[in-house]
């Protein structure tokens, strides 16, 4: 840090010229310390090393748009609008922003003269043992005293203390705005994730219902075969066990769906009682395309990174405030008003009074208090630098995690869909062999269990890919494209 100083001998000139600003000039710390900024995300498909990273500038305030619309789910659009209008966590964040804005005006008020009136009226009796108005000791008097003073004071900002306070308050205001955006983005992402999880639970519940229907038909077929002497009691028992097992899974899935609906209601600021989500016209929506190029501006748009940078600026200004405490403070005071012992003469000309004159406050010895306060301010700034860098590192971690998850989940889903196709073929063969009397029902039951497991896994993986897409959007600070109408892929 480089410090700017003013000559103590130029006090009056500085007062006339507006003073100087003591303390370190703010320069954002390197986001990754001594580490070089990578040219591109490692997990971005098609990323090249030719991408150039620009110096970070807070831009969390830039519009993100309704990024969730890329999923093409009208019900999700409705829920997001409902949450934006009614979510109480978001309302609390907006209230905190309003507090920060008011505190900026509180800090700015010190730039201006302060004017106050303190009228008073009293009736008092003097002590017998105290001379009063030339009277000897032993004389007592009772009298009235009416005063209407008007006090004025102004402190020239000689060393920039007030300017630094305003600078800190404005930085905190910007940080509060970014915090509001962070709460909003977190709300949007959490709602989208819960919504897609509910869609997956709905699809799984529908799958189980269709499976139960199929198992009921299989049980009836097995009973008919038993009546004809073709199947055994063991086959009937195995078919019934398969059916009851599938039926037992329905309440558990329905319980998860109910909890998700209640969570969505709370996010939307609605009571859970009676809250409903419209069923999907189609199954789980497709995953939107991810652009191959990921410039650094997208990471800079993360509101938590921007908020951490603004708090660093506020802490830097606080160091300047602590530095100004070593310098003298000049206050210009004035008083004018009326005073009289008789209310009838209070507003007459002889009752006028006034006083004017400056006062100078200069801390000559404070027992090390000022140095300790300055050291604390510098340590607080160092803390915000570390927090800022940690936030950037976390942003890189989250983005790389989600990019890798996108790629690996796609591969896993392809393999699982191939396994499902094989399981369905196996089930078809097992059914044909059972109908031909070549195998027992155990082989059919085993094939049915394997097919159902793969069906459910495919549903879960599709939902997980959607949740990962939402997490990637959140990791990059919101929507990643200027065009909100990116077509979804299957």
Comparison of pLDDT for 382 and 152, the residue scoring more: 382
Last residue of a domain, one of 344, 361, 378: 361
Q: Percentage of the chain with pLDDT > 90?
A: 39
Q: In whole angstroms, how large is the CA radius of gyration of the chain?
A: 37
Q: According to the model, what pLDDT value does residue 48 have?
A: 37
| Residue corresponding to tokens 């971005």 | 44
Q: According to the model, what pLDDT value does residue 354 have?
A: 79
Summarised one tens digit per residue, pLDDT across range 296-325 is 565 567 899 989 999 999 999 999 999 999
Contact 292, 44 (CB under 8 A): yes
Facing residues of 146 across strands?
A: 121, 340
Same domain, 125 and 67: no
Comparison of pLDDT for 29 and 132, the residue scoring more: 29
Any idea what the CATH number is for the domain that residue 353 is in?
A: 2.20.200.10
Residue 187 dihedral angles phi and psi, to the nearest 5°: -60, -50
Comparison of pLDDT for 113 and 289, the residue scoring more: 113
Interval 332-361 mean pLDDT: 81
CA distance to 318, 324, 394, 476, per residue, from 4 (Å): 15, 11, 35, 38
Same domain, 128 and 192: no
Stretch among 3-7, 154-158, 331-335 having the lowest mean pLDDT: 3-7
Q: According to the model, what pLDDT value does residue 431 have?
A: 87
Same domain, 341 and 485: no
Among 21-25, 86-90, 444-448, top mean pLDDT goes to 86-90
Contact 58, 306 (CB under 8 A): yes
Summarised one tens digit per residue, pLDDT across range 233-270 is 898 998 899 899 999 999 999 999 999 999 999 999 99
- Residue 45 CA to chain centroid, in angstroms? 29
Interval 210-236 mean pLDDT: 88
pLDDT band at 337 (very low <50, low <70, confident <90, very high): confident
Q: Which residues contact 261 (CB under 8 A, 6 or more apart)?
A: 198, 272, 275, 276, 277
Contact 272, 266 (CB under 8 A): yes
Residue 355 dihedral angles phi and psi, to the nearest 5°: -155, 140
Interval 397-415 mean pLDDT: 89
Same domain, 437 and 342: no
d(CA 70, CA 255): 29
The total of structural domains in the chain comes to 2
Same domain, 182 and 240: yes
Last residue of a domain, one of 341, 361, 381: 361
Nearest to 294 by CA among 476, 66, 487: 476
Summarised one tens digit per residue, pLDDT across range 268-302 is 999 999 898 988 776 677 777 755 435 456 556 78
Q: According to the model, what pLDDT value does residue 252 have?
A: 93
d(CA 403, CA 42): 9
Q: Which residues contact 22 (CB under 8 A, 6 or more apart)?
A: 3, 4, 5, 6, 159, 160, 161, 164, 320, 323, 324, 327
d(CA 213, CA 210): 5
Mapped onto helix, strand or coil, the DSSP state of residue 147 is strand
Same domain, 202 and 335: no
Domain that holds residue 118: 112-156+328-361
Contact 202, 82 (CB under 8 A): no
Stretch among 348-352, 392-396, 463-467 having the lowest mean pLDDT: 348-352
Please name the residue ranges forming H helices in 66-160: 74-86, 88-108
* Residue 81: count of CB within 10 angstroms of its CB: 12
Supply the DSSP symbol for 40: S
Q: Which residues contact 74 (CB under 8 A, 6 or more apart)?
A: 278
Q: According to the model, what pLDDT value does residue 166 have?
A: 92
Nearest to 185 by CA among 431, 427, 475, 489: 475
Distance in Å from the first CA to the final CA of the chain? 54
Same domain, 66 and 118: no
- In this prediction the pTM is 0.80
Q: According to the model, what pLDDT value does residue 40 have?
A: 67
Same domain, 234 and 176: yes
Q: According to the model, what pLDDT value does residue 100 have?
A: 93
Same domain, 161 and 150: no
Q: According to the model, what pLDDT value does residue 296 have?
A: 59
pLDDT band at 55 (very low <50, low <70, confident <90, very high): very low
Summarised one tens digit per residue, pLDDT across range 427-465 is 999 989 888 888 888 888 889 889 999 999 999 999 999
pLDDT band at 184 (very low <50, low <70, confident <90, very high): very high
- Residue 339 CA to chain centroid, in angstroms? 57
Same domain, 320 and 199: yes
| Rounded (10°) angle between helices 233-267 and 441-475 | 10
Same domain, 197 and 76: yes
Any idea what the CATH number is for the domain that residue 248 is in?
A: 1.20.1600.10
Same domain, 274 and 313: yes
Nearest to 188 by CA among 262, 298, 85: 85
> How does the average pLDDT of the chain come out, rounded?
82
Last residue of a domain, one of 340, 361, 382: 361
Q: According to the model, what pLDDT value does residue 11 have?
A: 47
């Amino acid at each position: 840090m480089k410090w700017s100083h003013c000559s103590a001998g130029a006090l009056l000139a500085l007062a006339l010229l507006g003073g100087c600003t003591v303390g370190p000039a703010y320069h954002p710390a390197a986001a990754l310390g001594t580490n070089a900024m990578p040219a591109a995300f490692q997990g971005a498909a098609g990323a090249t090393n030719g991408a150039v990273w620009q110096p970070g500038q807070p831009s969390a305030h830039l519009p993100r748009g309704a990024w969730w619309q890329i999923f093409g789910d009208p019900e999700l659009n409705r829920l997001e609008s409902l949450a934006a209008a009614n979510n109480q966590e978001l309302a609390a964040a907006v209230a905190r922003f309003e507090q920060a804005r008011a505190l900026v005006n509180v800090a700015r008020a010190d730039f201006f003269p302060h004017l106050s009136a303190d009228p008073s009226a009293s009736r008092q009796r003097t002590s017998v043992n105290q001379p009063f108005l030339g009277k000897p000791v032993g004389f007592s008097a009772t009298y009235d005293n009416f005063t209407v003073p008007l006090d004025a004071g102004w402190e020239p900002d000689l060393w920039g203390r007030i300017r630094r306070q305003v600078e800190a308050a404005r930085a905190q205001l910007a940080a509060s705005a970014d915090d509001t955006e962070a709460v909003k983005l977190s709300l949007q992402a959490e709602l989208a994730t819960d919504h897609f999880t509910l869609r997956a639970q709905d699809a799984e519940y529908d799958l189980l219902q269709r499976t139960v229907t199929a198992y009921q038909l299989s049980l009836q077929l097995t009973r008919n075969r038993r009546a004809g002497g073709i199947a055994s009691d063991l086959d009937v028992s195995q078919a019934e066990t398969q059916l009851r097992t599938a039926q037992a899974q329905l309440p558990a899935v329905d319980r998860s769906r109910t909890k998700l609906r209640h969570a969505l209601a709370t996010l939307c600021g609605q009571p859970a009682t009676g809250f409903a989500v419209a069923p999907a016209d189609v199954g789980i929506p497709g995953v939107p395309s991810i652009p191959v190029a990921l410039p650094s501006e997208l990471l800079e748009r993360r509101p938590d990174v921007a908020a951490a940078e603004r708090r660093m600026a506020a802490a830097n200004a606080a160091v300047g405030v602590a530095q100004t405490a070593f310098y003298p403070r000049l206050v210009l005071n004035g008083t004018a008003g009326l005073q009289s012992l008789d209310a009838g003469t209070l507003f007459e000309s002889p009752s006028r009074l006034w006083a004017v004159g400056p006062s100078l406050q200069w801390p000559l010895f404070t027992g090390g208090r000022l140095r300790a306060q300055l050291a604390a301010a510098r340590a607080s700034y160092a803390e915000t630098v570390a927090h800022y860098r940690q936030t950037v590192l976390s942003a890189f971690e989250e983005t790389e995690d989600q990019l890798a998850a996108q790629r690996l989940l796609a591969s896993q889903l392809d393999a699982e869909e191939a396994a499902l196709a094989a399981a369905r073929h196996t089930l078809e063969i097992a059914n044909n062999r059972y109908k031909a009397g070549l195998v027992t029902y155990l082989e059919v039951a085993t094939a049915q269990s394997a097919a159902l497991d793969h069906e459910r896994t495919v549903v879960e993986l599709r939902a997980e890919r959607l949740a990962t897409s939402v997490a990637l959007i959140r990791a990059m600070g919101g929507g990643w494209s200027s065009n909100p109408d990116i077509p979804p892929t299957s």
